[in-house]
Amino acid sequence: MRATAPQHPSVNGKSLLRFLTCGSVDDGKSTLIGRLLYDTKLIFDDQLATLEKDSKKHGTTGEEIDFALLVDGLEAEREQGITIDVAYRFFTTDKRSFIVADTPGHEQYTRNMATGASNSDAAVILIDARKGVLTQTKRHSYICALLGIRHVVVAVNKIDLMGYSRQVFEHIVEDYRAFAAALGFASITPIPISARYGDNVTTRSASMDWYQGPTLLDWLEDIDVDTDLAAKPLRLPIQWVNRPNLDFRGFSGTIVSGAVRPGDKVVVASSAKESRVKRIVTFDGDLAEARAGEAVTLTLEDEIDIARGDVITLTTERPEVTDQFAAHVLWMADEAMLPERQYLMRIGCRYVPARITALKHKVDVNTLQHLAGKTLELNEIGFCNVSTATAVAIDPYVDNRDTGAFILIDRFTNATVGAGMIDFGLRRATNVHRQDLSVNKAARSRIKGHKPAVLWFTGLSGSGKSTIANIIEQKLNARGIHTYMLDGDNLRHGLNRDLGFTDADRVENIRRVGEVAKLFTDAGVVVLCSFISPFRAERRMVRELMAEGEFVEIFVDTPIEECMRRDPKGLYARAKEGKIKNFTGIDSPYEPPELAEITVHSHHTGAEAAATRILDYLEASGIV
């Protein structure tokens, strides 16, 4: 990464702050913005006259001016006295320019609140001094954190109605901090204010000697949210291919992070095609360098194939390219999110079909607890595995908002139904450009005369997995079917020699097994995998590596008492003595499968009968 110069000083010396106001209904968000516009002289005389007229008609403040009417621009909003949609307002002081997103407090409009947060660098979270921290306060704080806002003001509003009480303020602040500790904000600044009367908004309150901190405007003018995007790795999503004539082929887009110069060695992230930058073309002349935020057109030294949606980066700063990743998704439609349903994803300048393959958990935004769930309803947030039809270049959202965010679009109505923030890629190996080989899985399968499959035996230690798997492998071999057995012991002596038995190592163990099994299925082989594999998530991860119908999960459901009685390797005895840590069933959990293709009770039926049942299944499903 190259060193970068300080941010360009602007001619008028001002930086821009984009922030949002949020909080529960009636906490006074719109009033606060009206107050800020009024106090910074951004309201014109004719607007003030209209406001006075409107205040008498719709206002909720009696004879006084209702500042909320300045921003609640929709008829329905003025009639109901609430904010429905996000409004953007601009104001400026001698120090800074501001774009403020005024967002709705009602739970049903949470998606509009998230919209405001997605383009903001700071948040003013209002709390009504009479009501304290409410559900919506927590919801909005969580969404702010999720969308990457790092600095917040907790504006305890209507403090005038509580007699400007220090105790009330401090009590609310204490409550808020207790809740927000888990959200990881870089800074939380509490300020007691009265938006209606202007206390501590732009001018210091005469009624609160006990408060020594900044006014809201002081904070907004001084808060440092600069993330030096130009210092990050180069990401240039291509928007439009610029071809005025046969002699010019340019790639137009806005640099979302990093910087680029003529001569730089660049690469198209998804195809791994490389070239060098020839020119950086703009209407105002060629540039010697272009940086984050600039809309430019590049020409390259070589004729390589680049289309809209590709991401250009430096060869030394490549993003991950993957078709599977984990992400937090906020659902924004009345119709629930369904796993495996195909949506259209927009990420950067690319549209790609995508599915949510697994909802790992939902987040209860009030308690931040993880909840189990199958679907996401309107305004719910879930942690999901996402699979795209073709591999895309991604960065974690915390590193880059532009390459780490996506929206999901309903394929029928074209409505925007979900917003996602990428946590991490699930298949790091795809950083390596895969070779397209002409002899493929189908071709290999054809000469074998059977389909590949993974028979995944899961169950407690001593449940009889390996015994049953051995019987099946013998029978398949006798029928001329190509098989291979992977079991915990043989892999742990070689490939996985470096792994222990902590939860993290167990996950990695299974991931490697999954990848090995996948190579075997690619070779056309029926793979028998015999692993305790106690966690559902990892079994699901392996399942998702395979093609539809290829993964057969077999639950060898032997009660722990029976396994302990058998104890073929003496492991239970040693675990009970505390000589083995993290032993499944003793001091580490086993999560039984919910949707196994086959469940066998070999302790009742015997291993031979269990094997027969499994073979019947393989025949019925056309694998052998």
Task: Quote the least distance from Cβ 405 to another protein, whole Å.
Answer: 5
* Using rule CB under 8 A, residue 17 touches another protein: no
Helices (H), 256-309: none
Among 268, 269, 347, 556, contact with another protein (rule: CB under 8 A) = 347
Work out the number of other CB atoms within 10 angstroms of the CB of residue 7: 12
Question: How long, in residues, is the chain?
Answer: 624
Among 107, 170, 294, 508, contact with another protein (rule: CB under 8 A) = 294
Among 63, 75, 94, 594, contact with another protein (rule: CB under 8 A) = 75
Cβ-count burial of 527 within 10 angstroms (0-12 exposed, 13-18 middle, 19+ buried)?
Answer: buried
Those residues whose C-beta lies under 8 Å from the C-beta of residue 352, and which sit 6 or more positions away, are 309, 344, 345, 388, 389, 390, 392
Helix axes 135-146, 110-118, angle to 10 degrees: 40
Q: Which amino acid would we find at residue 245?
A: N
Among 36, 70, 173, 381, contact with another protein (rule: CB under 8 A) = 70
Among 150, 401, 506, 543, contact with another protein (rule: CB under 8 A) = 401
Q: Interface residues for another protein in 78-107 (CB under 8 A)?
A: 78, 84-90, 97, 99
The 3-class secondary structure across 197-261, one letter per residue, is CCECCCECCCCCCCCCCCCHHHHHHHCCCCCCHHHCCCEEECCEEEEEECCEEEEEEECCECEEC
* Using rule CB under 8 A, residue 281 touches another protein: yes
Nearest Cα neighbor of 138 from 121, 154, 161, 159 is 154
51/37 Cα distance (integer angstroms):
13
Segment lying near another protein (by CB under 8 A), choices 288-296, 446-454, 490-498, 613-621: 288-296
Q: Interface residues for another protein in 29-68 (CB under 8 A)?
A: 44-47, 54, 57
Helices (H), 417-456: 441-448
Q: Interface residues for another protein in 349-378 (CB under 8 A)?
A: 349, 351
* Using rule CB under 8 A, residue 242 touches another protein: yes
Among 93, 202, 254, 431, contact with another protein (rule: CB under 8 A) = 254
Q: Interface residues for another protein in 567-596 (CB under 8 A)?
A: none
Task: Quote the least distance from Cβ 239 to another protein, whole Å.
Answer: 5
Q: Which amino acid would we find at residue 322?
A: T
Structure tokens at 365: 């935004």
In terms of CB distance, is 346 or 574 closer to another protein? 346
Among 55, 112, 205, 496, contact with another protein (rule: CB under 8 A) = 112
Structure tokens at 272: 């791994």
* Using rule CB under 8 A, residue 5 touches another protein: no
Among 71, 122, 269, 376, contact with another protein (rule: CB under 8 A) = 71
415/346 Cα distance (integer angstroms):
12
* Using rule CB under 8 A, residue 344 touches another protein: yes
* Using rule CB under 8 A, residue 9 touches another protein: yes
Q: Interface residues for another protein in 551-570 (CB under 8 A)?
A: none
Q: Interface residues for another protein in 184-213 (CB under 8 A)?
A: none
* Using rule CB under 8 A, residue 227 touches another protein: no
Structure tokens at 546: 């395979």
* Using rule CB under 8 A, residue 442 touches another protein: no
* Using rule CB under 8 A, residue 74 touches another protein: yes
Q: Interface residues for another protein in 309-338 (CB under 8 A)?
A: 332
The 3-class secondary structure across 57-110, one letter per residue, is HHCCCCCCCCCHHHHCCCHHHHHHCCCCCCEEEEEECCCEEEEEEECCCCHHHH
- Distance, CA of 24 to chain centre: 25
In terms of CB distance, is 48 or 573 closer to another protein? 48
Among 40, 93, 282, 599, contact with another protein (rule: CB under 8 A) = 282
524/440 Cα distance (integer angstroms):
9
Structure tokens at 139: 């919801």
* Using rule CB under 8 A, residue 72 touches another protein: yes
Q: Which of 120, 533, 588, 602 is catalytic?
A: 533
By CB under 8 A, the count of residues binding another protein is 74
**Quick check: is 30 catalytic?**
no
- How far, CA to CA in Å, does 552 sit from each of 253, 452, 453, 483? 46, 11, 7, 14
In terms of CB distance, is 4 or 15 closer to another protein? 15
* Using rule CB under 8 A, residue 308 touches another protein: yes
* Using rule CB under 8 A, residue 111 touches another protein: yes
| Whether the Cβ atoms of residue 112 and residue 104 lie closer than 8 Å to each other | yes
Residue pointed to by tokens 């019987």: 471
* Using rule CB under 8 A, residue 389 touches another protein: no
Q: Interface residues for another protein in 158-187 (CB under 8 A)?
A: none
Task: Quote the least distance from Cβ 457 to another protein, whole Å.
Answer: 44
Among 3, 11, 206, 246, contact with another protein (rule: CB under 8 A) = 11
In terms of CB distance, is 123 or 468 closer to another protein? 123
* Using rule CB under 8 A, residue 405 touches another protein: yes
15/99 Cα distance (integer angstroms):
11
Catalytic residues: 533
